[in-house]
Amino acid sequence: MDRQSLIANIKAKKSFLCVGLDTDLEKVPPSFLEMDDPIFEFNKMVIDTTKEHCVAYKPNTAFYEAYGAAGWTSLQKTIDYIGEDHFIIADAKRGDIGNTSGRYAKAFFHALNADSVTVAPYMGVDSVSPFLAFENKWVILLALTSNKGSQDFQLLKDQDGLLFEQVIAKSQEWGSIENLMYVVGATHPEQLAHIRSLVPDHFFLVPGVGAQGGTIQEVADAAFTKDCGLLVNSTRGIIYAGGNGPGYQERIRAAAADLHHQMKPYFS
């Protein structure tokens, strides 16, 4: 999906919601465990329930790789089921020497047909550039993440500034607003406006809303642009909002609808 198509979808729905598909079989309603492919069937239910409220889905590949070949099949079926109307993020956090990154890129962009993949920048340009070589595909580069350990390295400072600032500045030489996004956690609201000033036109993937404490208002007030420029992800707050009892599907729908409702006022 190219940039203009993504923006058009966002504006048409008045939504910048991304639903994370981190499917844990220990948390899904027991009825799914009786099915031949419980991961896919649960995902299918979540997609059918939330698709009117979101513009993107983000399966975290670890939750599929943990089940070996069967999990990878569930991931492929999930991506195929999502189709072309929603932006698909393979949350894989890859990054390796160039020829290996090239194979990762082929796996996610050709074999799985994801629109984007999260990439770790630690190994530098030759680990990132193979992902940027694919037309209408995106790198979502880790910049300032939402986890507690982000301060261990990302917030280190030297004479050239904070490390995440240097990552953002250097990566501007590698990609453009057409193929490069940044992961910026909602748990760092004090930094969102600053990062937006560094990259005024790039999209941000923003995790950390909901279960991790971030809010739609904080994120949008700090970083919303004329093109929106945001994909705000919620995972646990949506897909496990229903619990295991009766009515779980309606509670999942309500959780997605609530976040969508909070986003609508930013489109006028």
Residue 251 has pLDDT above 90, yes or no: yes
Q: Which of 258, 260, 185 is nearest to 223 (CA)?
A: 185
12-67 confidence digits (pLDDT tens)? 999 999 999 999 999 999 999 999 999 999 999 999 999 999 999 999 999 999 99
223-246 confidence digits (pLDDT tens)? 999 999 999 999 999 999 988 888
Q: Which of 171, 231, 168, 228 is nearest to 195 (CA)?
A: 168
More confident residue, 188 or 124: 124
Point out the catalytic residue in the list 11, 14, 51, 93. Answer: 93
| pLDDT interval class at 212 (50, 70, 90) | low
Global confidence as pTM: 0.95
Question: What CATH class has 3-266?
Answer: alpha beta
Please give the backbone phi and psi of residue 207, each rounded to the nearest 5 degrees, phi first.
-85, 170
- Does the annotation mark 93 as catalytic? yes
SS3 172: coil
Residue 213 has pLDDT above 80, yes or no: no
Give 228's DSSP letter: B
Average pLDDT over residues 144-152: 85
Check residue 243 and give its pLDDT: 81
67-87 confidence digits (pLDDT tens)? 999 999 999 999 999 999 999
Average pLDDT over residues 134-140: 97
